[in-house]
Structure 1
Amino acid sequence: MSGPGSRPPSSTDVARLAGVSQKTVSRVLNGEPYVSEEVRERVLAAARELGYRRNTAARALHLGRFHRIGVAALGSSLYGPSSLLVALERAAREIGYALSVVNTLEGEDGGLMSAVEELLGQGVDAVVVSDPIDEGQAPRLDRDVPVLSFRPIPGLDGPRVVVAGSSGVDAGRQATEHLLGLGHATVWHVAGPSRWWAARDRARGWREALAAAGAAEPPPLEGDWSPASGYAAGRILAADPEVTAVFAANDDMAIGVLRALAEAGRAVPGEVSVAGMDDIPAAAYLSPPLTTVRQDFEAVARRGLALLVEQIERSPGPRAHDDLPARLVVRRSTAPPTAPPPGAEP
Structure 2
Amino acid sequence: MSHDPAQRAASIRDVAQLAGVSHQTVSRVINDHPSIRESTRQRVLDAMEQLQYRPNRAARALVTARSRTLGVLSTTAAALYGPVSSINAVQGAARDAGYYLAVAQIPQLDDAGIAAALDHLLAQAVEGIIVIAPQDLVLEHISSARLAVPYVTLQGGSEYVARELTVDQEAGARAATAHLVSLGHRRILHLTGPLVWFEAQARAAGYARELEAAGLAVPPLLEGDWSAESGYRAARSFLRDPEATAVFASNDQMALGVYHAAREAGRRIPEDLSVVGFDDIPEAAHFWPPLTTVLQDFTELGRRSVERLVAEIEGGEVPGPASLLPELIVRASTAPAPA
| Same fold, TM-score > 0.5, yes or no | yes
User: Do 1:131 and 1:198's aligned partners in 2 also have CA atoms closer than 8 Å?
Assistant: no
3-state DSSP class of the match of 1:190? strand
* CA distance 1:296–1:52, change in 2 (3 Å): farther
SS at match of 1:80: helix
Shift of 1:58: 7.6
Instruction: Give deviations 1:86-124, integer Å, cap 9, x for gaps.
Output: 121121112111111110145434433432233112211
Check whether the contact 2:139–2:156 (CA below 8 A) recurs between aligned residues: no
Give the percent of matched residue pairs that are identical in Structure 1 and Structure 2. 41
1:113-147 Cα shifts (integer Å, max 9, x gaps):
43223311221100111032233982223133211
1:336 has 2:310 as partner: no
SS in 2 for 1:92: helix
- Quote the residue 2:8 is aligned against: none
Aligned in 2, Cα 1:52/1:315: closer, same or farther, shift over 3 Å?
farther
Task: Classify 1:336/1:106 alpha carbon distance in 2 versus 1 (closer, same or farther; 3 Å).
Answer: farther
Q: 2:150 aligns with which of 146, 158, 168?
A: 146
Aligned equivalents of 2:112, 2:217: Cα separation in 1? 38
For the 8 Å contact 2:130–2:151, the answer to whether it is kept is yes
Runs of 4+ in 1 over 4 A off after TM superposition: 7-12, 51-59, 154-157
Q: Who is 1:102 aligned against?
A: 104
The corresponding residue for 1:26 is none
Task: Note if contact 1:191-1:221 (Cα within 8 Å) is conserved in structure 2.
Answer: yes
Following the alignment from structure 1 to structure 2, what is the Cα–Cα distance between the partners of residues 105 and 189? 30
Preserved CA contact (<8 Å) 1:106 1:133: no
**1:98/1:136 Cα in 2 relative to 1: closer, same or farther (>3 Å)?**
closer
Q: Deviations over 1:253-303 (max 9, x none)?
A: 000001111111111111110000111111101110000001111111011
Query: Per the alignment, in what secondary structure is the counterpart of residue 212 of structure 2?
Result: helix
Counterpart code for 1:169: E
In the alignment, which residue of structure 2 is the partner of 1:29? Answer: none
CA distance in 2, matches of 1:114, 1:197: 22
How many pairs are equivalent? Answer: 301
- The CA distance in 2 between the partners of 1:246 and 1:95, in whole Å, is 42
Which of structures 1 and 2 has the bigger CA Rg?
Answer: 2
CA deviation vs aligned residue, 1:164-206 (integer Å, no higher than 9, x gap): 1212222211111111121111421000011112211111111
Question: C-alpha distance in 1, partners of 2:238/2:331?
Answer: 21
Give the aligned CA root-mean-square deviation in angstroms. 3.1
Residue of 19, 27, 38 corresponding to 1:6: 19
- In 2, are the aligned partners of 1:180 and 1:186 still within 8 Å (CA)? no
Match of 2:286 in 1: 285
Match of 1:125 among 124, 127, 134: 127
* SS at structure 2 position matched to 1:247: strand
- 1:196-246 Cα distance to aligned partner (Å, 9 max, x none): 122111111111211222211000110111111000111112111011110
* TM-score w.r.t. length of structure 1: 0.78
CA gap of 1:329–1:106, structure 2 versus 1, over 3 A, is farther
Q: What is the CA–CA distance in structure 2 between the aligned matches of 1:217 and 1:278, rounded to whole Å?
A: 23
Which position in structure 1 is the counterpart of 2:234?
Answer: 233
- Cα distance in 1 for partners of 2:136, 2:91 equals 25
Q: 2:268 matched to which residue of 1?
A: 267
Amino acid in structure 1 at the alignment position of 2:106: T
What secondary structure is seen at the aligned counterpart in 2 of 1:268?
coil
CA distance in 1, matches of 2:338, 2:290: 19
Gaps of 5+ in 1: 18-47, 340-346
- Contact kept? 1:116, 1:127, Cα under 8 Å: no
| 1:185 has 2:186 as partner | yes
Tell me the amino acid that sits aligned with residue 115 of structure 1: A
Q: Provide the rounded CA distance (Å) in 1 between the counterparts of 2:139 and 2:164.
A: 19
Per the alignment, residue 91 of structure 1 pairs with: 93
Residues 110 and 294 of structure 1, relative CA distance in 2, 3 Å threshold? farther
In structure 2, relative to structure 1, the CA distance for the partners of 1:256 and 1:6 (3 Å cut) is: same
- Answer yes or no: is the 8 Å Cα contact 1:247–1:276 preserved in 2: yes
User: Runs of 5+ in structure 2 lacking a partner?
Assistant: 1-14, 21-25, 40-48
Q: Distance in 1 between matches of 2:172 and 2:192?
A: 13
Does the 8 Å contact 1:186/1:210 carry over to 2? Answer: no
